[in-house]
Amino acid sequence: MASPNVFNTFHFMVLHFPIALIVVSFLCDLVASFVKKSKWNGILKKAGFITLVFCAVTGIVTCLAGLIAAVSLHLLGTIGAHATKGIEFTIYVTLLAVVRLVFAKTKKIDIGDNLFYLIFSLVGAILAFTLFKIYRYPHWGVLQFTVPFVITGFLADIAALIWKTKKWAKSLQEIGYTFLILGTVTIIGAVITGYMRAAEMPALMQADPKKNYYNPAALHIHEIWGVITMIAFIVLSVIRSFYHFKFEATSLVKGKTIFIVGAVIGIAIISVASHLGGTVALFPGLFGK
């Protein structure tokens, strides 16, 4: 039986990012195309740009980690079709990011709300849904967005602190706040759909007792950590909402310090919950079961 290693564990941790972020990028740019005369046009396009680049980078990292894990565990032949899909998707979103970067550097324009660009971005979002079948059941679909929303929003906040004197620091702060709220909403959705999925598990076992669909003990622990994660981010969102209109991006004081520390703790909690989720039923062979 295969044993876990750092590469397959890391692969499971980052694979949600490219899938979710291409969808988020498309939606941000789509909404931006409808509010071209609003201040939100620039903010939404920045969010779409950031998430697209982050999607491409994490896609490359995900592919490399997955391929190294497959080779080290002698599973490349088994997951060959999945690996091919991952590589094709990563190449597509990377080319999309490169084209957008070229226009930004050479033409000094962001093509995020351009109709032709939106069509190609939509194709990327559709590929994410279809190639990796995240529509299989609600919990699998919702959880794709939890960690990417939370961490991308956190990184936007950190960037706002680092470049606090720049004119776009406020936009980054708005992106960070919006992604935190969206991340919290998706975490709540993931907990609800997770309990719905858990309720289906016993029936699967009864239908085919010889097949190990899931580990009940691991599922119970995952449920506990899922609830802890939900509570933590609800509290964090309340704190962030309280301070959101109270401080600017020019100084790290009071609310920001509380938020940064809380966000780090929250990310640690959701990382543990995500890892435990992987031990419940997904790819049990890679976890030594």
Q: Render pLDDT for 156-184 as a digit per residue (tens, 0 to 9).
A: 888 888 887 777 788 888 888 999 999 99
Residue closest to 29 by CA, chosen among 46, 11, 4: 46
What pLDDT does residue 207 have? 67
What pLDDT does residue 209 have? 62
- CA distances, 241 to each of 50, 235, 247 (Å): 23, 10, 11
Residues 152 and 40: their CA atoms lie apart, in Å, by 18
Q: 205-244 burial, b for 16+ CB within 10 Å, e for fewer?
A: eeeeeeeebbbeebbebbbebbeebbebbeebbeebeeeb
Overall pTM surpassing 0.85 (yes/no): no
- CA distances, 120 to each of 114, 116, 183, 221 (Å): 10, 7, 26, 41
Name the stretches of the chain with pLDDT < 70.
1-9, 204-205, 207-214, 245-255, 278-289
Is residue 193 within 8 Å of 139, Cβ to Cβ?
yes
- Type of residue found at 1: M
Residue corresponding to tokens 């201040």? 39
